[in-house]
Structure 1
């Protein structure tokens, strides 16, 4: 017989305290909906689920980033759609002006007046198309010619009036044998048969790389043989399209002004000029088409990226839920 200690009561108290503690934890889990409310509940599970939570929030934000990028592309592409329409009208005017039923001083002047206004509208579109105050079509959102003459030897050649280039950054070497012209970026070579630049005022267009070069009447016989064009990376745009560092997508948009499209010097004052305008506008249409194709491809890629991000976020959320959320049947 023991007098100072009531073992039965102590055991009952211990069991009651344990039951109350377990009940308190169960109520906490049931009220919060979480199996892990503090590190002590499951230290390893907490660490894993927190990493998952960070990844989930990153995926959700990357999806929002990608949607913003799609909006930017749609803004640029919508403006280029109008540029295409303008170029088609300019080509129509050029074909009309090429017909000698028109008088230079009367009919062609009237046609040229509309032609010049349309050209100005292309320039306005290129400078006024913006997304979040960023210019998209004036060349500042893409790659461009490095104007350092020591790097771009073509700029120093007498008779070269202008160079526009919006292709991938790199060095492009020109070879001109007087009959054919080739241009190479070290990986790929494009040959333009019968496109020698030694014949005077001409325009070279390599739409695949967004390169346009104009020469004037003083162009020498040596031409561009062996010369180089260096395209440097512009500001462009880098979109964070993933939850982790380095998971990005880049976008560069060329100069879509009349200068960038190499039609700034064209007019319809006479038949010869009108005929030259047809060729120049055809090249401009190809450049705009190439740019729109690039934008469309990027948009399609982003839309698939958005779908994949949503799927990844959903699956990762389910995984995090299995670790952290409470099972009400067990907790009750």
Structure 2
């Protein structure tokens, strides 16, 4: 018999400690609902569970993204609903004007006014429809551009300059003796030569135009401007119909006694109007005093201006090449003329440094020179990428140079236009969906220059308007298909999330019934081990019997 070491008590105490630990873990699992509360509970299970949790979180976020995408698509498609309605009204107006019962100067002029108003509203919808500040119908999401191009936002605006036809040199008089009404004028509109036939004018219009323009009052000048504009635009419409062209309509404005401003409707730097009348016998030739050179009158090109202060376009931002970031810095932007060249220089420098770092300089794999940039007619920076890599631009560290330049690709497909939606839990291409919407302005739809002020023009306008309706229908069809796809995507993401949650639950969650069984067992064992420890502690008391 020993009293220094009570082995039975030690054994009972060891089992009691183990049972207490087991009961503690049982209580932790029962109170938390998790089988795995720390890595020690199941290290492999914890690692698998955490990866599943990340995937589930990504899937749930992708569902939200897809729902936001549906809202964006519905916003664009809803706006096009009204465009369709206006185009249908324009068909009605064109069909009316094509009827021979209408008078050019009164009835068709009023029909043309409503048509012009509808075109203006289509343009307003095209420019103003946006979702969270992202323009949807202005062409910035069109995905156009050869070789994987990117078209940025508008950074340069064009304001049409006017050409003044000065009446001081005019020799026309009330008898019209100096004008040969059977002679045509040649008007070069944005580089295209248009023949204007003045013989179509009636006696009242001829009498109005044949006045002495050195002394005609402002009211008659305004009326004459309307006649000139209508006659030239009818000629432009006839030319467009005959040759399938898209020459812009011109605007003629009477400014005081016998003075007219003529402007082209084209936006870009090539916009101008030139009057050619080498015989000096057509009305415009007489009015502008052309002396036989054929180029005495020409409007200036439109005035261009940066949308922001020049300094806002200069600075540093990031260029991404297949996700790899390199620094790029623009400098020297001062006018619209050098905004593209400055950015081109910055891109070339960045690509040259990239080639040097990769050791590809002078090889076929070199990227320098394979990304070019130009300023297009709408004042947007337009890129051409032939590198075979995805290239984009992003602002960093709170900067906004790329955004000001209109080339930030955040939210857009790099060098491919469009808007990229993240509809999966990984960055893989198949988990992304690009939404592309073309330019829905009247000019892009092919109806910017239509005129129903004449019967022939109205007939030609019908087919163009119907073609525009087909274009809008096609776009709405694409948007509808995307919406349906997103709805299927959301359903699939929901099912996947449910299944992944069930799998994660089987790994991480506790089976309450089974754990209660274990807790009951361990609780009984704790009580039993406590009793046995008490009994073991009594064993050394037997030594006292030997002392009697």
In the superposition, the TM-score normalised over structure 2's length comes to: 0.46
Is 1:240 aligned to 2:422, yes or no? Answer: yes
**Unpaired runs of 5+ in structure 2?**
147-190, 194-238, 247-381, 385-414, 517-548
CA-to-partner distance for each residue in 1:69-123, whole Å, 9 max, x for gaps?
0000000000001100000000100000000100000000111111100010000
Paired position in structure 2 for 1:30: 30
Quick check: 2:59–2:424 contact (8 Å CA) kept in 1?
A: yes
Structure exhibiting the larger radius of gyration computed from Cα positions: 2
Report the Cα distance in structure 2 between the residues aligned to 1:277 and 1:120, rounded to whole angstroms: 16
CA distance change for structure 1 residues 97 and 238 in 2, over 3 Å: closer, same or farther? same
Tell me the secondary structure at the aligned position of residue 421 of structure 2.
strand
Paired position in structure 2 for 1:130: 130
Q: Which runs of 4+ in 1 moved over 3 A?
A: 197-200, 230-234
Paired position in structure 2 for 1:249: 433
1:309-324 alignment, distance < 5 Å: 309-324=493-508
Is 1:291 aligned to 2:475, yes or no? Answer: yes
Give the drift of 1:199.
9.3
1:67-78 alignment, distance < 5 Å: 67-78=67-78
Tell me the secondary structure at the aligned position of residue 34 of structure 2.
coil
1:192-271 alignment, distance < 5 Å: 200-203=242-245, 234-246=416-428, 247-271=431-455
Tell me the secondary structure at the aligned position of residue 144 of structure 1.
coil
Tell me the secondary structure at the aligned position of residue 140 of structure 2.
coil
Give the drift of 1:236.
1.1
Paired position in structure 1 for 2:458: 274
Quick check: 2:241–2:460 contact (8 Å CA) kept in 1?
A: no
CA-to-partner distance for each residue in 1:147-181, whole Å, 9 max, x for gaps?
xxxxxxxxxxx759xxxxxxxxxxxxxxxxxxxxx
CA distance change for structure 1 residues 145 and 316 in 2, over 3 Å: closer, same or farther? closer
Paired position in structure 1 for 2:4: 4
CA distance change for structure 1 residues 119 and 250 in 2, over 3 Å: closer, same or farther? same
Report the Cα distance in structure 1 between the residues aligned to 2:465 and 2:241, rounded to whole angstroms: 21
CA-to-partner distance for each residue in 1:175-219, whole Å, 9 max, x for gaps?
xxxxxxxxxxxxxxxxxxxxxx99953159xxxxxxxxxxxxxxx
CA-to-partner distance for each residue in 1:278-305, whole Å, 9 max, x for gaps?
0110110010000000000011000000
CA distance change for structure 1 residues 107 and 231 in 2, over 3 Å: closer, same or farther? farther
Give the drift of 1:314.
0.2
The number of residue pairs the alignment matches comes to: 261
CA distance change for structure 1 residues 283 and 100 in 2, over 3 Å: closer, same or farther? same
Quick check: 2:144–2:417 contact (8 Å CA) kept in 1?
A: no
Give the drift of 1:2.
1.4
CA-to-partner distance for each residue in 1:29-72, whole Å, 9 max, x for gaps?
11111000000100110111111111100100001000000000
Is 1:45 aligned to 2:87, yes or no? Answer: no
Give the drift of 1:272.
1.1
Quick check: 2:30–2:515 contact (8 Å CA) kept in 1?
A: yes
Paired position in structure 2 for 1:90: 90
Give the drift of 1:143.
2.1
Quick check: 1:36–1:46 contact (8 Å CA) kept in 2?
A: yes
Tell me the secondary structure at the aligned position of residue 236 of structure 1.
strand
Tell me the secondary structure at the aligned position of residue 237 of structure 1.
strand
Quick check: 1:137–1:255 contact (8 Å CA) kept in 2?
A: yes
Paired position in structure 2 for 1:175: none
In the superposition, the TM-score normalised over structure 1's length comes to: 0.75
Tell me the secondary structure at the aligned position of residue 417 of structure 2.
coil
Name which of structure 1's ranges 309-318 and 2-11 shifts more when overlaid on structure 2.
Answer: 2-11
CA-to-partner distance for each residue in 1:252-300, whole Å, 9 max, x for gaps?
1000010110101011110111111101101100100000000000110
How big is the alpha-carbon RMSD for the aligned residues of Structure 1 and Structure 2? 2.3
Report the Cα distance in structure 2 between the residues aligned to 1:142 and 1:317, rounded to whole angstroms: 39
CA distance change for structure 1 residues 309 and 83 in 2, over 3 Å: closer, same or farther? same
CA distance change for structure 1 residues 51 and 71 in 2, over 3 Å: closer, same or farther? same
